[in-house]
């Protein structure tokens, strides 16, 4: 290239540079120049505000698991009806006594010692006999029906029901009447009101039998003496009466009580 045009080219470049500096001084001086791209990176550096990643969206709260519906209670089974027991066809006797160990017989068959239970007794009439040492035996006719029956025997209750026709001999004459004895006392019943009396069994000071004389002597405590004979001269009836009354007196002395 000839020398002259090269000089012109240089001058043109200087003019352009001068014009650009003037432009920067007049209007473009306030704006900060964008940073130059890093060499070798091949990418221009973006502003920091454009490099910030957006805030992550909050994760949605998990929905609560649906509650399982409570199972409906199963209906309770209806109770089965209780079987109806068959009506008993035989009788059961529960036998006791106020003396332990009393011997029990039903229809002359030994059942056991009190307290005892006799089962499978055929309905109907039966004979009950119970004995205890030191006491008179008890004999009863009992009616048995289907089911259970309680029987209590009281040996320690004094039972007495004795009587005898007598003649009361006075010093002068005599009167007739009747001696009656229970566990609660003895009395002489007569048409002669002045001759009659009533007293407890333990209120007798004298109560004796003279079998040979066929005579029953009796004296009430703090009272009169009596001398009884049998209207027919039979000493046996006086003897039996005396025996039964004396046995009751002995039991009352040892603490047994009169039957109600």
Same domain, 173 and 148: no
Please indicate, yes or no, whether residues 167 and 248 belong to a single structural domain of this protein.
yes
CA 101 to chain centre: 30
> Region 175-183: what's the mean pLDDT?
95
- Asked which of 125, 155, 185 is the last residue of a domain, the reply is 155
Q: Are 187 and 163 in contact (CB under 8 A)?
A: no
Question: Of 155, 185, 210, which residue sits at a domain end?
Answer: 155
Q: Tell whether the model's pLDDT for residue 84 goes beyond 60.
A: yes
> Has residue 250 been placed in a domain?
yes
Residues 170, 253, single domain; the answer is yes
Kindly report the CATH number assigned to the domain that includes residue 252.
Answer: 2.30.29.30
Separation between Cα atoms, residue 29 and residue 25, nearest integer Å: 6
Residues 252 and 170 in one domain: yes
Edge-first strand order for the sheet with 109-113 is 109-113, 103-106, 124-131, 138-144
How far apart CA 142 and CA 202 sit, in angstroms, is 34
70 falls within a domain: no
Domain assignment present for residue 52? The answer is no
Local confidence band at 73 (pLDDT 50, 70, 90 cut-offs) = confident
Task: Judge if 168 and 237 occupy the same domain.
Answer: yes
How many structural domains is the chain composed of? 2
Same domain? 244 vs 192: yes
| Residue 162, pLDDT score | 96
Are the CB atoms for 45 and 34 separated by under 8 Å? no
Judged against a pLDDT cut of 90, whether residue 115 lies above it is answered with yes
Residues 243 and 187 both lie in one domain = yes
What's the average model confidence in pLDDT over 123-140?
94
Mean pLDDT (whole number) for 216-243: 93
Show which of 155, 190, 210 is a domain's final residue.
155
Q: Which of 138, 164, 153 shows the shortest CA–CA distance to 96? A: 153
143 and 163 share a domain?
A: no
pLDDT at 11: 66
Q: Average of pLDDT values for 244-250?
A: 95
Answer whether residue 34 is part of any domain: no
In a domain, residue 76? The reply is: no
The answer to whether residue 46 is domain-embedded is no
Residues 134 and 178 in one domain: no
Domain co-membership, 201 together with 242: yes
Mean pLDDT of 172-178: 88
Model confidence band, residue 199 (pLDDT cutoffs 50, 70, 90): very high
In a domain, 126, yes or no: yes
Mean pLDDT over each residue of the chain, to the nearest integer: 83
Q: Name which of 124, 13, 90, 216 is nearest 21 in CA terms.
A: 13
Distance from CA of residue 10 to its chain's centroid? 133
Would residue 30 count as lying in a domain?
no
Cβ pair 44, 37 in contact under 8 A: yes
Residue 40 has pLDDT above 50, yes or no: no
* Preceding peptide of 115 cis, ω within 30°: yes
pLDDT of residue 23 exceeding 70, the answer is: no
Q: How far apart are the first and last CA of the chain?
A: 173
Nearest to 95 by CA among 109, 72, 112: 112
CATH number of residue 148's parent domain: 2.60.40.1120
- DSSP category for residue 155: T
User: Are residues 199 and 118 part of one domain?
Assistant: no
Q: Are residues 149 and 179 in the same domain?
A: no
pLDDT, average across residues 72-83: 78
When pLDDT is cut at 50, 70 and 90, the band that residue 66 belongs to is low
Backbone φ and ψ of 76, nearest 5° = -65, 140
The residue segments making up the domain with residue 193 are 158-258
């Amino acid at each position: 290239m000839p020398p002259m045009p090269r000089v012109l080219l240089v001058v043109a470049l200087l003019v352009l540079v001068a014009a650009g500096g003037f432009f920067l001084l007049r209007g473009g001086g306030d704006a900060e120049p964008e940073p130059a791209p890093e060499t070798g990176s091949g990418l221009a550096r973006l502003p920091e505000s454009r490099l910030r990643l957006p805030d992550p969206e909050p994760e949605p709260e998990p929905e609560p698991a649906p509650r399982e519906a409570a199972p409906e209670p199963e209906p309770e089974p209806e109770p089965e009806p209780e079987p109806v027991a068959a009506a008993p066809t035989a009788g059961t006797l529960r036998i006791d006594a106020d003396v332990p160990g009393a011997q029990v017989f039903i229809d002359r068959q030994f059942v056991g010692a009190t307290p005892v239970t006799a089962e499978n007794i055929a309905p109907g009439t039966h004979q009950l006999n119970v004995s205890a040492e030191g006491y008179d035996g008890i004999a009863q006719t009992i009616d048995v029906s289907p089911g259970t029956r309680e029987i209590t025997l009281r040996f320690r209750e004094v039972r007495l029901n004795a009587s005898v026709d007598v003649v009361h001999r006075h010093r002068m004459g005599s009167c007739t009447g009747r001696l009656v004895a229970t566990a609660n006392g003895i009395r002489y019943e007569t048409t002669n009101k002045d001759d009659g009396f009533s007293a407890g069994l333990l209120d007798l000071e004298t109560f004796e039998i003279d079998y040979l004389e066929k005579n029953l002597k009796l004296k009430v405590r703090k009272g009169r003496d009596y001398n009884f004979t049998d209207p027919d001269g039979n000493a046996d009836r006086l003897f039996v009466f005396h025996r039964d009354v004396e046995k009751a007196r002995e039991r009352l002395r040892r603490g047994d009580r009169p039957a109600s």
